[in-house]
Amino acid sequence: MKYTHGSTPAKQRGKPDQFVMGPYSQALLAAFLEQGGELEALASSVGVASSQLCQPASKISVDHYLGLFQQAKMLSGDEFLGLHTGQHMHAATFSVLGQALLKANTLGEALQQVLALEGFVHTLGHSEVLREPGAVRFVWQCHYQLHPQARELVESVLAGIIHFAKQLAGRPIPVLQSTFVHGQPKVASLAAYRQICHSRSHFSQPQNSILVADEVLAWPNKMAQTQEVTPDALGSTLKQKVIHYLEERLALGNPPLSEVAAQYHLTLRTFQRRLDREGTQYIQILNEVRRRLAKDYLLYSTMNTLEISQMLGFKEQSSFNHFFSDNLNMTPTEYRRCGKEKS
């Protein structure tokens, strides 16, 4: 294993019980490949066969896992590899914890399972929950905060929690705030963090954390009644697939219809015809997603209306304001104020 000197804290280095479950590393591998990385190059850089990356042992050492992060970032040139790794986490990633999360009735119950069972998945850090007025702060204490790959590690964990919570709830999770101990990367665009963490992010903070409103934690777990452990459990109809795609894609801008059709290897005409058979049209799906996300972000995030309009793919804040007023007969600011008054 090629590895940088002094990477693992002395009190942790060499201990046989410092591990990561093998499936946990597959999210990192998926993110690396999605960013254009080559499997053979990564395997060679860490001194293992390609098959060992694709089918890792049941447990791998923390040094091996952090070494993978180091080499994957260098080879891919992806400055947001940690965030992108979090986007590839699903139930199978978490082994026994994932199975427990699928059985939780609400997001709040799922959070309790994380606290109880995360030690079965890895020894990279530990979690705790702090109560705040009307909200809960999920804090992740990284055991390797001084490691060169601490940023990628922490961002993968927090982004993974947010992404998997979305899978459970069947909708993006609005976050009041995300905080990181590490400083803001020089190359970082705050828009990348806003897109993936669904919140404003703050750096050089005392703790790595996610702040979520109590109402959001009360959302039901839509996957509780299914045995499926992949994102496909979110739904198989074309409409449901388009909803899922738009939820992930809108923050990058409003995609043209041809792009959405191409995601499902359909011609534009076939795509529209299949939606017609399901009793809907693309513009109806787009407006439905925008309405729901707009209301969630206004009620359960601290993003301003400009940031929210960008999350929904509007080029101008004024366009978002007109859309919202036409659909809900009030301005975004009025809706946010009414929501706070009711709570």
Separation between Cα atoms, residue 327 and residue 307, nearest integer Å: 19
Q: Which is it for strands 208-213 and 135-142: parallel, antiparallel or unpaired?
A: antiparallel
Is 328 found in the same domain as 297? yes
In a domain, 335, yes or no: yes
Which has more pLDDT, 249 or 95? 249
Q: Which domain holds residue 292?
A: 235-342
The answer to whether residue 3 scores a pLDDT higher than 80 is no
283/193 same-domain check: no
Does 113 share its domain with 183? Answer: yes
Residues 175 and 245 in one domain: no
Q: Which residues pair with 191 in a beta bridge?
A: none
Residues 97 and 129 in one domain: yes
Same domain, 261 and 195: no
Please answer whether residues 297 and 308 qualify as being in contact, where contact means their C-beta atoms are separated by less than 8 angstroms.
yes
pLDDT averaged over the chain? 90
196 and 249 part of one domain:
no
Output the pLDDT for position 113: 92
Residues 55, 147 share a domain:
yes
pLDDT at residue number 230: 44
The CATH number assigned to the domain holding 265 equals 1.10.10.60
Closest Cα partner for 60 from 26, 110, 100, 30? 26
Beta bridge partners of 201: 178
pLDDT in tens, 227-245: 444 444 444 799 999 999 9
Summarised one tens digit per residue, pLDDT across range 196-236 is 999 999 999 999 999 999 999 999 999 885 544 444 444 47
> Residue 18 pLDDT more than 70?
yes
Strands (E), the chain: 19-21, 59-61, 125-132, 135-142, 177-179, 201-202, 208-213
Q: Is residue 4 in some structural domain?
A: no
Contact present, 296 and 212 (Cβ < 8 Å): no
At which of 190, 217, 244 does a domain end? 217
Q: What proportion of the chain, given as a percentage, has pLDDT over 90?
A: 82
Task: State how far the Cα of 88 lies from the Cα of 235, in Å rounded to an integer.
Answer: 18
340 versus 15: the higher-pLDDT residue is 340
For residue range 73-95, what is the model confidence (pLDDT) as tens digits? 999 999 999 999 999 998 888 88
- Report how many domains make up the chain: 2
100 and 242 in a single domain? The answer is no
- Per-residue confidence (pLDDT) for residue 342, from 0 to 100: 64
* Rounded (5°) CA angle 48-63-205: 135
Residue partners of 245: CB distance under 8 A and separation at least 6? 260, 263
Residue with tokens 């705050």, as numbered in its chain: 190
Domain shared by 267 and 140, yes or no: no
* Same-domain check for residues 209 and 288: no
Residues 209 and 285 in one domain: no
For residue 306, being part of any structural domain is answered with yes
Instruction: Tell how strand 201-202 and strand 177-179 pair up.
Output: parallel
Surface-to-core class of residue 192, CB atoms within 10 Å of its CB (0-12 exposed, 13-18 middle, 19+ buried):
middle
**CATH assignment at residue 127:** 3.90.1520.10
Q: Are strands 19-21 and 135-142 parallel, antiparallel or unpaired?
A: unpaired
Whether the Cβ atoms of residue 122 and residue 21 lie closer than 8 Å to each other:
yes
State yes or no: pLDDT of 147 exceeds 60.
Answer: yes
Report pTM: 0.88
User: Which pLDDT score is estimated for 16?
Assistant: 52
- 72 pLDDT exceeds 90? yes
- Give yes or no for residue 6 having a pLDDT over 90: no
Whether residue 13 lies inside any domain: the answer is: no
* Digit-coded pLDDT (tens) for 265-310: 999 999 999 999 999 999 999 999 999 999 999 999 999 999 999 9
pLDDT score recorded for residue 225: 57
What is the structure's pLDDT at 341? Answer: 61
Average pLDDT of the residues in 144-151: 96
Distance CA 243, CA 286 (A): 8
Q: What is the pLDDT of residue 162?
A: 96
| pLDDT of 323 above 60 | yes
Using DSSP's 3-state secondary structure scheme, residue 144 falls into coil
The region that residue 166 occupies, defined by phi over 0 for left and psi between -120 and 50 for alpha, beta otherwise, is alpha
Q: CA separation (Å) from 315 to 196, 253, 307?
A: 19, 8, 11
Show the beta-strand stretches assigned E in 205-318: 208-213
Pick from 101, 107, 301, 104: nearest CA to 219: 107
Tell me the pLDDT band of 68, cut-offs 50, 70 and 90: very high
Mean pLDDT throughout 120-134?
A: 95
The pLDDT of residue 224? 82
Distance CA 24, CA 230 (A): 14
- Among 217, 250, 278, give the residue marking a domain's end: 217
